[in-house]
């Protein structure tokens, strides 16, 4: 079987902090130059490439003299601000050596949670690609707070893959892929070369956070592959220091762990809803409503809601959870949280009598709902 990357025309490449900063010793100029050369080769093959790069905080820590990752949010933001300068400079220099322009794009979850900003981000990235520019994307750590963080750049890479409907996500890391156990602790661990994105067995194999520099471990990469697959993107997890790793993948060689997407692409609006990491509120569904949504493809009626959590307005994206707390779906609410509390557990025929108006017979119509 050839590499999943060979047929891809639009690719997201994500590189982690330990690779970019040579395990915290400062920006690895030689490694970044090698990736730039490989991406130039991919472009010569007719492929569009977006680079999602960690490393700003790690570089800022080095420049500001921090020996350990700060816990204070303002110190972390200061590290990001200082480190981002060096990161952007080295990428620009490395790609200019191949007559390729770069653009720095800093994102927060708020940019993707708002529909208009989501579409603006999409248009900007696709325009940059059309103009032959390589976008360099990072989370905007200088302003972001924990409440609106992507959490790690693996997740960000998957969201960007969804955003611009990429064909593939390549996650370059300091491990050779997903192993049956932690190879740093178990010498008998074997490399998983092929799998299905979203397979629960893979999540069980993945461990915790990988390094003190970054936020993501192998589990975040497995979950990122699951998220990327929602828009039909395949994922490869590979060792970033492997010689010519990107060009070899593009030429059909199997390297690392390849996780194939099994599902078709969601519609653009449903993909936007699925990509919400933080929603305005929650509604708790009884077992019957969970069955109607997940098995029968029905809309969510107020009578199936047993609790409303948080405060939200009409048209907000909310999460539907079962009585066990597990997310079932996300969707656009026809009613505010206050209105939803008044009509929950009531048949739709009583909505007008209770509220004085009817926005819809459903709390969430099935056309505005996506299963998780």
pLDDT at 215: 44
Q: Indicate if 220 and 354 belong to the same structural domain.
A: no
Residues pairing with 10 in the sheet: 48
Q: Tell me the percentage of the chain whose pLDDT exceeds 70.
A: 92
Task: Look up residue 251 and give its two tokens.
Answer: 């030429």
Residue 4 maps to a domain: no
Q: Domain containing 48 — which CATH number?
A: 3.40.1160.10
- In the annotated binding site for ATP, the residues are 14, 173-174
Point out the annotated binding site.
Answer: 14, 54, 141, 153, 173-174
Percent of the chain with pLDDT over 90: 56
pLDDT tens track for 223-254: 999 989 888 899 999 999 999 999 999 999 99
Binding residues for substrate: 54, 141, 153
Domain termination residue (choose one: 270, 291, 319): 270
* Residue, of 165 and 305, whose pLDDT is higher: 305
CA separation for the pair 301, 309 (Å, rounded): 16
Compute the distance between CA of residue 372 and CA of residue 362 in angstroms, rounded to an integer.
19
CB 220 within 8 A of CB 152: yes
Contact present, 160 and 12 (Cβ < 8 Å)? yes
**Over residues 158-185, mean pLDDT:** 89
Please give the residue that has the higher pLDDT: either 244 or 219. 244
pLDDT reading at 288 higher than 90: yes
If you average pLDDT over residues 53-78, what whole number do you get? 88
348 shares a domain with 254: no
Rounded to the nearest integer, the mean pLDDT of the chain is 88
77-123 confidence digits (pLDDT tens): 898 899 999 999 999 999 999 999 999 999 987 788 777 788 789 88
Q: Residue 5: inside a domain, yes or no?
A: no
Range(s) of the domain holding residue 307? 279-371
What does the block give as tokens for 245?
Answer: 């790793």
Query: What is the model's pTM?
Result: 0.76
Of 213, 236, 270, which residue sits at a domain end? 270
Q: Which of 247, 270, 293 is the last residue of a domain?
A: 270
Mean pLDDT of 252-280: 81
Is the same domain home to 22 and 108?
yes
Q: Is the domain of 256 the same as that of 283?
A: no
List the CATH number of the domain containing 297: 2.30.130.10
């Amino acid at each position: 079987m050839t590499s999943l990357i060979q047929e891809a025309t639009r690719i997201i490449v994500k590189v982690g902090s330990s690779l970019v900063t040579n395990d915290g010793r400062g920006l690895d100029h030689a490694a970044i130059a090698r990736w730039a050369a490989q991406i130039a080769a991919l472009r010569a093959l007719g492929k569009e490439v977006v680079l999602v790069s960690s490393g700003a905080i790690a570089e800022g820590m080095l420049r500001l003299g921090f020996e350990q990752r700060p816990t204070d949010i303002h110190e972390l933001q200061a590290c990001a601000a200082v480190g981002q300068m060096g990161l952007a400079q080295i990428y620009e220099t490395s790609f200019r050596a191949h007559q390729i322009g770069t653009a720095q794009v800093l994102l927060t979850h708020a940019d993707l949670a708002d529909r208009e900003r989501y579409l603006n981000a999409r248009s900007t990235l696709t325009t940059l690609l059309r103009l032959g520019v390589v976008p360099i994307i990072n989370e905007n750590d200088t302003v972001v707070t924990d409440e609106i963080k992507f959490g790690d750049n693996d997740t960000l890479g998957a969201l960007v893959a969804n955003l611009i409907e990429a064909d593939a996500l390549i996650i370059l890391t300091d491990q050779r892929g997903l192993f049956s156990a932690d190879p740093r602790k178990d010498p008998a661990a074997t490399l998983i070369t092929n799998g299905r994105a979203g397979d629960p067995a893979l999540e069980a194999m993945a461990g915790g956070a990988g390094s003190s520099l970054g936020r993501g471990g192998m589990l975040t990469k497995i979950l990122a592959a699951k998220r990327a697959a929602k828009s039909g993107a395949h994922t490869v997890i590979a060792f970033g220091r492997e010689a010519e790793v990107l060009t070899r993948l593009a030429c059909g060689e199997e390297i690392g762990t390849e996780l194939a997407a099994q599902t078709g692409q969601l519609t653009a609006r449903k993909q936007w809803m699925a990509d919400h990491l933080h929603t305005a509120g929650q509604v708790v569904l009884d077992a019957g409503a969970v069955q109607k949504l997940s098995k029968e493809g029905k809309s969510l009626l107020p009578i199936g809601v047993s609790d409303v959590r948080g405060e939200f307005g009409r048209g907000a994206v909310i999460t539907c959870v079962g009585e066990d707390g597990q997310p079932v779906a996300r969707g656009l609410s026809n009613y505010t949280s206050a209105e939803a509390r008044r009509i929950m557990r009531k048949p739709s025929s009583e909505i007008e009598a209770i509220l004085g108006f009817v926005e819809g017979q459903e709390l969430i119509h099935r056309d505005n709902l996506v299963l998780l």
